[in-house]
Amino acid sequence: MTRPTLARLTLAMAAALSTLAAASAQAQSPAASETASNRALTHVRAHAQRTLHGADHSYAVRDVVIDADGTEHVRLERRFKGLRVLGGDLVTHTSRSGAFLDASHTLSREPRVDIAARLSPVDAVRAAMQQSRGAPDGSTPELLVYARGDQPVLAYDVRLYGEQEDGTPSELHVIIDALRGITIDAWDDIHTAPATGSGSGFFNGTVSLTTDLVSGTYNLRDPGRGNQYTVDMKNRQWGKGAIFTDADNAWGDGTLANRQTIGVDAQYGTAVTWDYYKLVHGRNGIANDGKGAYNRVHYGKKYNNAYWSDSCFCMTYGDGDGVSFNPFDSLDVAGHEMSHGLTSRTAGLVYSGESGGLNEGTSDIFGTAVEFYANNPNDPGDYLIGERIYKAAGKSLRNMIRPSSDGKSADCWYSNVGSLDVHYSSGVANHFFYLLAEGTSGGSPSPTCSAGDTRVATGAGSVSGIGRAKAEKIWFRALTVYMTSNTSYAGARAATISAANDLYGAGSPESTAVAAAWTAVGRN
């Protein structure tokens, strides 16, 4: 093997990192979580006017966040007569003393429907296949209450599996009205970069890696970070892949000729993202359960994309075509894809409409945050997404400073922004975050939005930035404490203002800046 340039991480260094991470994590015992959950369920029923609780409603706890001051935030999935209510999830907020403070949800009315379907499950699958690509896996469609619109309706969630035009797998949800047999919503559980291609350069240089010694052979697995690991798909699009192994614990050589090199970048990106969430936000892994996701690299042949999948709890990266694109596991793309997992385990923002734009925007925001956090001189932090995956300089997947520079993304909120592809409607969230963090002073190239139904900013005013660190804290708290599956941009404005009030005080400069930044992107 050619002598690699990557440095080894000693066991002492790994132990030090693990100790530092454990010291920074929030203490939250199972007993405290159970007490908070029980209080939340009591409050939901006692404050039905605010929670829109009904006699036929039941709940399951999805997540518990307990603040340092003892305030509790419990995320609940709602069911009506045993059926899941899509868009009916809520978060209860309880004081340390146990008093009900408020609840976050997006329902406009109590979800109540006749649960007798006119359409059979077989007919629902047939209707979905007539209007969408893919095939069922033989499982029965889920009958549920669809409550993302103004009027809750009985519907089927039909799952279709297939392949997108560029070779990306598809795990499509098609929502079929159980009375009329029409499609009322659809989204894919495979969260990708735009169809024009995504990828990552392998420009991280010499990095430290925590690995696992098994029977005299090193595995590219990180015991200190939830056993996150990386496998080589060997340019196949099926199977589980093979975990990277090495005899001397020195991986890759910085060239594409060595298959380990891309594995190094993926594993490094996953480790940095884990550390970012744990040391900055106190979250112990994507699902906050101490378990790591994993990476699949060398996926397909000349595959120009990367994606997150909930079904495998993993990130997948193509090698790129070698002409326009490098491999797709650059640092910000790794942070972006892994952050889709965070969203799925917290707010669960549905991947369509404005909530889909917020889902993509969240991944862009935290992908950027991870890149700045890494402080890697080979890939300095910036507000461009995926700029290293292009062979040609000066290109990127998205630009948070002025999203519309790609000719497709929206700088500003407008009434039909939710009809855009989620990668382009995310521009509103990206632009908001940039203005909140950096502001418009000092000759900023990021213009603000004027009043009116427009998607392109023209420069209508000024905003004072509060810095990335505070902006990241606000967005993380808004996502994990206040946003729910159907949150719109109006809801995101309210959620981030509430988060800023919690962190920095009502009427604080930070809270005022959040409101001003939303106004600057057209969402009053």
Q: Could you tell me which of 501, 396, 22 has the C-alpha nearest to residue 226?
A: 22
How far does the chain reach from its first CA to its final CA, in angstroms?
A: 60
Query: Are residues 375 and 381 in contact, defined by beta-carbon separation less than 8 angstroms?
Result: yes
- Give the pLDDT band of residue 387 (cuts 50, 70, 90): very high
Over range 244-251, report the average pLDDT. Answer: 90
Question: How far is it, in rounded angstroms, from Cα 240 to Cα 312?
Answer: 10
Question: How far is it, in rounded angstroms, from Cα 272 to Cα 507?
Answer: 34
pLDDT, position 400: 97
Question: How far is it, in rounded angstroms, from Cα 351 to Cα 172?
Answer: 10
Question: How far is it, in rounded angstroms, from Cα 23 to Cα 362?
Answer: 27
The first and second tokens of residue 427, run together, are 């521009």
- Residues forming the active site: 337, 423
Over range 505-510, report the average pLDDT. Answer: 96
DSSP H helices in 439-488: 468-477
Q: Any idea what the Cα angle at residue 367 is, between residues 407 and 380, rounded to 5°? A: 90
**E strand intervals along 212-256:** 212-214, 217-219, 221-222, 228-232, 242-243, 245-246
Query: Are residues 211 and 189 in contact, defined by beta-carbon separation less than 8 angstroms?
Result: no
Question: How far is it, in rounded angstroms, from Cα 512 to Cα 479?
Answer: 19
Question: How far is it, in rounded angstroms, from Cα 422 to Cα 426?
Answer: 6
Q: pLDDT tens for residues 322-343? A: 999 999 999 999 999 999 999 9
The model's pTM is 0.81
Q: Could you tell me which of 318, 258, 317, 259 has the C-alpha nearest to residue 293?
A: 317
Query: Are residues 307 and 300 in contact, defined by beta-carbon separation less than 8 angstroms?
Result: no
| CB burial of residue 271 (10 Å; 0-12, 13-18, 19+) | buried
Lowest mean pLDDT among 18-32, 68-82, 218-232: 18-32
Q: pLDDT tens for residues 468-490? A: 999 999 999 999 999 999 999 99
Lowest mean pLDDT among 253-257, 270-274, 451-455: 451-455
pLDDT, the chain, mean: 89
pLDDT, position 13: 30
Q: State how far Cα 497 lies from the chain centre.
A: 20
Question: How far is it, in rounded angstroms, from Cα 513 to Cα 195?
Answer: 35
Identity at 299, one-letter amino acid code = Y
Positive or negative, the CA dihedral 190, 193, 199, 203 is negative
Angle between helices 509-520 and 468-477 (to 10 degrees): 80
446 compared with 70, residue with greater pLDDT? 70
Q: pLDDT tens for residues 268-316? A: 999 999 999 999 999 999 999 999 999 999 999 999 999 999 999 999 9
Cβ count within 10 A of residue 524: 10
Q: pLDDT tens for residues 87-144? A: 999 999 999 999 999 999 999 899 999 999 999 999 999 999 987 878 888 889 999 9
* Residue the block writes with tokens 């490094």: 268
pLDDT, position 442: 62
